[in-house]
Amino acid sequence: MTDLLIHDAIVVTMNQENQILKNGSVRVTDGVISSVRATEPGDRDSAAGRVIDASEKVVMPGLIDAHRHTDFALVQGLFSELGGGELLKEAFALYHTAEPTLGDSFFEAAWRLACLRQLTHGVTTVNAMDFTPGLGAEAIGESGLRAVIGSELADVLDPASADDQLATARRFIETYHDTYEGRVTASIAPGGEAGCSRRLWEGVAELRADYPDLRLHTHLYDSAEADTMAAGSGADDPLDLLDRYGLLDERTLLTHLLHADRSDARRIADAGAHVLHCPTVYSYFRAGERTWFPLPALQEFGANVAIGLDDPFWFDSWDLVREAKHARLLSNFEYGAQQWSSYDLLRMLTIDAARALGLNDRVGSLEPGKRADVVVVDIDTPRHRPYSNLPSVLTNTVTAGDIETVIVDGEVLMEERTVESMDVESVRTAAARERERLQARTGWETSLAGSTPPDESILRRVSARPLLRALRQYGRGIVHQHGW
Ligand SMILES: [Zn+2]
């Protein structure tokens, strides 16, 4: 018995042959795709539990956001007009005032709003790294979406000790890995060479030995001081740091790499590690000299690259399709035209991201046997027609607003832009309430014209402990990097 049947669609399968069916049907049974083939007349009056007529519309795999933080989704709009140095300073102050005073209700509302945004932007899977992973697992699980979530480990700038953070991460894995019918899985997520002490890296290596199936998800080479910071943990450079702890292999996900060079690209590709690229955040808030990740070398050596939004609430966009467009524009600007084809970008948003997360046996393409994570994109409008290059339309013209139906595990979570799996009004009410609390507690002022940070110096707003730890560990480097 078929539970769901979509017919008369332009099916962009993202299978190995990049096959597109001009007029196709996708059948789903028990959450799994049972067939993908040309539409037959009987499909239109099928006895399936739910039938979706997708005439002239595109049906493709759900999008995968390969790197995101979520905790502070409710600060959206506060940072949009800041410069790079100011952003880091204000974010640091906010993390250390909001986190202890606002409590779980703030972060729960943030996660639920993030789920609503993710869903309405067609992102069926997210790879998240956060300080409130348990709230995240529950919000994702209940919204019907899919996620890999890591408990973010960063003891240098955080008051909690390495051992306490590692214990929290272990508890998270034990409680939430492989829950909600397998839609929620865990990763191990050290913040990167900039935020972790030696003791933390040792503990991460122990976690990995205990949970060898999990992804290791981290930031690397995101500042000019990356080598100095790795030296603080006794390594020659950030890749050497991972290598020393046995953390650099095909289960490793490396975000940013803005200061990595050609030889780093070769080491990453040789190890089979995956690269998570987040173009908007670093171009929006550029501070200091312009640097970009070594894309030509990564391509030459065959590294797998996927795309993520990183901190969508800093630059006010949750549109992963536009993020892929930014990836192309900025890489072409840096290295010359044709860095990626439109098909490359579509693969990065779907099957290549699934491969990075170790989920390519379950999602990332529309093929029999895979879980049914599917989006329907409306391109039957004057904004898109007439067209002749569908992959280009899907990466250059379409925005997330064109995605009208979202299905995960065969369940319809949104149909024709009506959200079915979440109580939208309660998400909005909680977000508005918690945002008012945020402003009252932190002193940020907002109006329709913009936002103003509090006048008070951050040295008065942040307790001395995290600042002193940071200075002891990295001294001048961190002062310079954060502009204090
Ligand atoms: Zn990040």
**Cα 128 to ligand 1 centroid, rounded to whole Å:** 9
Query: What residues are neighbours of ligand 1 (ion), with CB under 5 Å?
Result: 310
pLDDT at 60: 98
Alpha-carbon Rg for the chain, nearest whole angstrom, is 22
Domains in the chain with CATH codes:
4-62+374-419 (2.30.40.10), 63-357 (3.20.20.140)
Interval between CA 47 and ligand 1 midpoint (Å): 46
User: What per-residue confidence (pLDDT) applies to 467?
Assistant: 61
Q: How far is the CA of 317 from the centre of ligand 1 (A)?
A: 15
Task: Identify any residues that bridge with 334 across adjacent strands, giving them in sequence order.
Answer: none
Residue 28 CA to ligand 1 centre (angstroms): 35
- Rounded to the nearest angstrom, the distance between the alpha carbon of 457 and the centre of ligand 1 is 26
Phi and psi torsions of 20, nearest 5°: -120, 125
Say how many Å lie between the CA of residue 154 and the centre of ligand 1: 12
35 near 60, Cβ under 8 Å? no
Q: Ligand 1 center to residue 42 CA distance, Å?
A: 48
Ramachandran angles phi, psi of 400, nearest 5°? -60, -25
Q: How far apart are CA 202 and CA 206, in angstroms?
A: 6
Distance 149 CA to ligand 1 centre (A): 13
68 CA → ligand 1 middle, Å? 6
Mean pLDDT, contiguous 10-residue spans, the chain (484 residues): 93 97 98 98 93 97 98 93 85 78 93 98 98 97 98 85 96 98 98 90 97 97 86 90 96 96 98 98 86 96 98 95 98 97 98 98 98 98 95 98 98 98 98 94 89 82 64 47 43
Q: Find the 320 Cα to ligand 1 centroid distance in Å.
A: 15
User: For residue 279, is the peptide bond before it cis, meaning its omega torsion is within 30 degrees of 0?
Assistant: no
**Centroid of ligand 1 to alpha carbon of 219 (angstroms):** 6
**Alpha carbon of 191 to ligand 1 centroid (Å):** 8
Q: How far apart are CA 356 and CA 216, in angstroms?
A: 11
Ligand 1 centroid to Cα of residue 364, in Å, is: 22
Sign of the C-alpha dihedral computed for residues 41, 45, 51 and 55 taken in this order:
positive
User: What pLDDT is stored for residue 469 in this prediction?
Assistant: 60
> What was the pLDDT predicted at 476?
41
- Residue 69 CA to ligand 1 centre (angstroms): 6
State residue 199's pLDDT score.
93
